[in-house]
Amino acid sequence: MKIAALVLAAGAGRRMGGPKALVHDPDGIPWVVRTARLLTTAGCSPVLVVIGAEADQVAAALTAEPVEVVVAGDWQKGMGASLRAGLRQVQLGGDELGSVLVAPVDVPGLTADVVRRVSAQAGEQALVRAVYYGKPGHPVLLGREHWDGVIASAAGDEGARAYLKQHRAVEIECSDLADGADVDTREDLPPGHRLG
């Protein structure tokens, strides 16, 4: 079965001063493009990108990428809204999609090796999350059997956190491959990364 990927890139990045999807790495590549390419390289297909804030600008950055863009109309309600919009679109992908790997756009240290390690647990019953030094992180792998439950419970900026805890997601340690840190402010940006 194929493993879809969902990039959550709809936020306004208030603490960053602009959408984190449009932060550029040292090579000038927007994080939204970098994340989509990384998931493709790691073997995920299809890759869907959920956008919201500055949607036209973010979509323009993705025009040359082999991704499906999903607009979350209620993105202002937080990550949960983006997750719901993305999962609803994934559900339209047919029975060949058994799992979806979810990655927010603001984890610049995410690597293809982490994605592959988590994706190795794929299946319709999969409920898996990467952890770093025992601390929950991303990506998260959701098997088809959990999609309706996550859609029903995802709220605010919590995303699937409560669902994963309640249903005892399998934790896969990935600190040997990446640091897993998400970035919220300009002060936290890695060297050479910039907004806009």
The identity of residue 139, as a single letter, is: P
Q: Is the dihedral of CA 162, 144, 51, 138 positive or negative?
A: positive
Nearest Cα residue to 99 out of 129, 71, 79: 129
Question: By percentage, how much of the chain surpasses pLDDT 90?
Answer: 90
User: What are the two backbone dihedrals, phi and then psi, of residue 134, each rounded to the nearest 5 degrees?
Assistant: 80, -5
Q: How far apart are CA 140 and CA 106, in angstroms?
A: 14
CA angle, 158 as apex, 9 and 109 as ends, to 5°?
50
Taking residue 131's Cβ as centre, other Cβ atoms within 10 Å add up to 17
Q: What's the pLDDT band for 94 if we cut at 50, 70, 90?
A: confident
Q: Fold for domain 2-180?
A: Spore Coat Polysaccharide Biosynthesis Protein SpsA; Chain A (3.90.550)
DSSP secondary structure code for residue 186 in this structure: G
Q: What's the pLDDT band for 51 if we cut at 50, 70, 90?
A: very high
**Domain regions of the chain by residue span:** 2-180
In order of 8, 49, 135, 152, 185, the CA distances from 92 in angstroms are: 18, 15, 33, 17, 35
Q: What's the pLDDT band for 42 if we cut at 50, 70, 90?
A: very high
Question: By percentage, how much of the chain surpasses pLDDT 70?
Answer: 100
For the cut 90, the answer to whether the pLDDT of residue 157 exceeds it is no
For 15, residues 6+ apart whose C-beta sits below 8 A from its C-beta are: 184, 185
Task: Report the half-sphere exposure of 156 (CA within 13 A, side-chain side).
Answer: 3
Nearest Cα residue to 103 out of 6, 4, 2, 3: 6
Does this model's pTM top 0.85? My answer is yes
For the cut 80, the answer to whether the pLDDT of residue 92 exceeds it is yes
Q: How far apart are CA 181 and CA 161, in angstroms?
A: 16
Q: In 3-state terms, what secondary structure has residue 20?
A: helix
- Name the helix (H) or strand (E) containing 191: none
Whole-number pLDDT of residue 146: 97
Q: What would the mean pLDDT of 154-183 be, rounded to a whole number?
A: 92
Contact 132, 174 (CB under 8 A): yes
Q: Which two tokens stand for residue 169?
A: 């997601």
